Every structure is written in structure tokens, then in C-alpha cells.
Structure 1
């Protein structure tokens, strides 16, 4: 099944989708990823036939367990840093006497990992993901690449038990422990303890990353985003890429995020001086 046909199926069931460039995890030129996800059939019919497919998990009310598996690419390079998320999840379930709910919709990723999909009882407050919630396990509540997209020449594949096919719409509801792992503050790592290991003068890029990580709350959002936008452009970033980046930064580091109209106004204003 082609990505466009799959996208139409999902959209007609109320799952917002967005296009990806062929063989890529990034949007086609002129598109903005999950921020433009849609269920509009006419919009999807205008997609190129060779585009890939992403799902807006946040709007769909879906969460994904992203399990890495150690392996190598066709040219011998290690993938996933040797982490085994399948093993880590199995150990976690045994230690806490928990089980994954069924029936479960799942996909295999191009490098042999797994995406396990679950519905949410309650929507998340904002698009969220937790990297390394367990070793080799990311929890996605914002967006995900979906079958039949291809990356590095290999597709995302729907995994089905032939005796009981499960659609994404019929997958089980996420238990509270999965939601808890996604939304709990990250406490396992203390970045402050690494300061003594860092050497050398902080670079312009390092200061920019620090500024982004600090984020902004209501009352300072516009000025903060304008400052970050200026810094990104000053670093020599292509304006089209800068625009895509500040959209992502707005979603992740501003609470609550600015609406698209305000983001566009900030970007246009800063561009006048660059």
C-alpha cells in the first residue's frame, strides 16, 4: 500500500497525518512536519506519490513506545548505539510485575526497532517525548514516522499476528505507567555533575543551545523567540531552515507555545534586520 493511500485511510478515521520527503525523516521542501498535519482528503490527494508519511500523535491521542534494537547498517555502521530497548522493556516489566496491554498495533522500523502504538485515555497537555525513558526506549507523544515510509532504503513495516490482525484504531489503551514514564520529570541524570568534565571556552553555538534549553514562559515569549531567531540567523542558518527550527523550538521550549500567527510575525520582524 502506498503512503498516500495509507494517509487517506488514517485521515478518514480521524488520525492527522503529514508528508515526509522521499526516503527521509524530514518534511518535503516548503512543508513543516507535524505542525501541518491534516485529516483533509483534498489536501492529501495533492501529495506526491513518492512522499513518506508521519502521524501527529498528540492530536490523535496516541502514544508510541519506540524500542531500539542493536544492529548495523548495510555499510557496517552501528545503529542505536548498541542499545537494546526490547531487552530493557522486558526487564522493566518483570521487575515491576507489569504487562503490555493487548491487542496492540505495532510497526517494525527500518533498522529493526519496534514502534508500539497505544491510545490515550486523556490527551496530553502538549506534544511531548521522553528520550531514554528506559535504556534504548523513547516514548513519543508528539509525532512518529509510519508505514510504509522508507529510510535508508528500508520501509517501516506493519507487524500483524495473522490470527488476530489489529488496526491502529483498535489498539489497546496505554496503562498509566506508560503515561507516567512519558510525563515524569527526568531525574536519572544530573547535567551539573558533568561541568567539571567540560574543557575549553564555550562557543557561540554552545551559548545558543543554552539559551534555547532555558526556554520561556508567558510574558517573555515573543522577545525570547525573537532573540533566539536572531541568534540562529546570525549563526548563518538558511532562513527556510531557521523558520522550521523556530517552529519546533516554539512547540518544545515555550510554555504555552505561541500560535502560528505570532511565530510568523516574530520571524518576519527579525528577518528585516538580517
Structure 2
């Protein structure tokens, strides 16, 4: 039994629900992603076959667990944000934490509040639905526990951070200029502009097609698709977004096979 399979069983025996992610990826194996998560060891045994090396997704939804996701790439440095908070007396001290393959941090907390996924500040996000967990791997590097060893002994989300999360209001800034907007710029705008309720499936399918035509990685397209869905009112259920992604990816794979086969 490989390490990933062994730990999936261990989590299930502790009462945590897990689900499989593609090897070396954040993409779910099943159509409904974290909604298929289970602590049933028979199902887990069928998923986490020794030869598959699937990554492990941990369900956060319908639990009292949340994760603060701190990045060090992209448009900000979450570590510097933490340092700035600490200088102001706003300490974030988890009982359990992991380091991600790209030197980010996942701080695990518990809360009695009903919260939703949210960007707190650039490079620091609140995760409330799902999270990839050690010893899963990306780009040949593993998620690693760096503090604590027990998800049952989490500390409460600090009151100051809870207040920050719940008091934030969405702000949209309109740039009043007449600069030429590139195709890529229009695509980025489309990620947040949304569409009418009856057009959400068509909108996300079209958007995903455009994202894939940029040549971006499948994991990137998957993350951006969920980002766009979060800006819809109301968002589609996650399982529907997963179905859209899997369906279009199958079509794209088939088209490329026909083209080069």
C-alpha cells in the first residue's frame, strides 16, 4: 500500500471525508469532486488503487474546518501579509499547518461560523469547500506537514480574522479610460462579469473553450472556471461546473486526437 492510499485510509478512520484527485494535479477524479467525498473504506479502497497514486482531497464543506491558503506567487506575497499582520498584533497561529509544493502555506482552523470561499487579500484566501492535503504531490514535490500532526486538535479561527472576513464587502472598480483592450483583456473581464441565471451553463462552457484556446494548463483552466462561477449570481453547483469541465476536456482531447492521429 503506497503512502497516499495509507493516509487516505487513516483520515477516513478518524472520521474525515476524502476524495481522489488526479495524480500530480488538483483536478478531481469523480464528476462531483468533493461532493463525492466519503469516509467509507471500501469506496476509498476502490479509488486509491496502489498503481494510481491519486492525490488526496479533503472535504471541508459540512465540517467545522476551514483553511487559510497563503501563496507566495502570482500577484502578492502572503508571507509578507502575515508578517505585516503580526507587526500589528494580528497573530495567526495554527495548531496544524502544511507547506505546499510552491512554498505556500495552508493553515487549518476550526470555526462555528458558516463561511464561504473568499479572497481575504491578494495571496491570502479562505477555503471552505475542499483542500488538497499532504502527502499529495504537484510537479514532483509533496505537500508537507510543518506544524502539528492531528486534524482533530485544531485551534479556533482568530476573532480578528473572522471579523475581517465577515465585514468585507465586494468592491468593483471601473477604470474610466479608453485604452485598447486586447483579446486577453476581454477574456479576463469575462471571468468576472458573469451572465444571466438562465445562461450560466452556456456562459461557462464558452468561457472554458476560450481559456483552453490560450494554451493554458488544464489545472489553470479548472481553477479559473471555478473563479468565474463564484462571480455568477447565483453560482452553479460545483458538481455542474465539474461536469462542464470534464465534458469539454473530453471533447478537446478527442479533437486533438483526430487532428494528429
The two structures have a TM-score, normalised by structure 2, of 0.70
Q: Are residues 1:168 and 2:151 paired?
A: yes
2:174 is paired with a residue whose SS is helix
Cα gap change, 1:233/1:178 in structure 2, threshold over 3 Å: closer, same or farther?
closer
In the alignment of these two chains, the number of paired residues is: 235
Q: 2:55 aligns with which of 31, 52, 55?
A: 52
Q: Which runs of 5+ in 2 are unaligned?
A: 246-261
Distance 1:262 1:82 in 2: 29
8 A contact 2:61–2:129 mirrored in 1 = yes
8 A contact 1:211–1:228 mirrored in 2 = no
In the TM superposition, residue 106 of structure 1 has moved relative to its aligned partner by: 0.6
**Counterparts of 1:2-13 in structure 2 under 5 Å?**
2-13=3-14
1:59 is paired with a residue whose SS is coil
Q: Are residues 1:252 and 2:255 paired?
A: no
Q: Which runs of 5+ in 1 are unaligned?
A: 70-79, 268-274
Q: Are residues 1:85 and 2:101 paired?
A: no
8 A contact 2:18–2:58 mirrored in 1 = yes
- Which residue number in structure 2 is paired with residue 76 of structure 1? none
Distance 1:250 1:142 in 2: 16
Distance 1:229 1:68 in 2: 26
CA distances 1:150-205 after superposition (whole Å, capped 9, x unpaired): 11111001123xxxx44112110112322334442244xx5313x52x733564x7
Q: Are residues 1:151 and 2:129 paired?
A: no
Identify which range, 137-146 or 251-260, moves more after superposition. Answer: 251-260
1:60 is paired with a residue whose SS is coil
1:46 is paired with a residue whose SS is helix
- Which residue number in structure 1 is paired with residue 169 of structure 2? 185
Cα gap change, 1:263/1:134 in structure 2, threshold over 3 Å: closer, same or farther?
closer
Distance 2:129 2:238 in 1: 17
Distance 1:10 1:16 in 2: 7
The two structures have a TM-score, normalised by structure 1, of 0.67
8 A contact 1:215–1:254 mirrored in 2 = yes
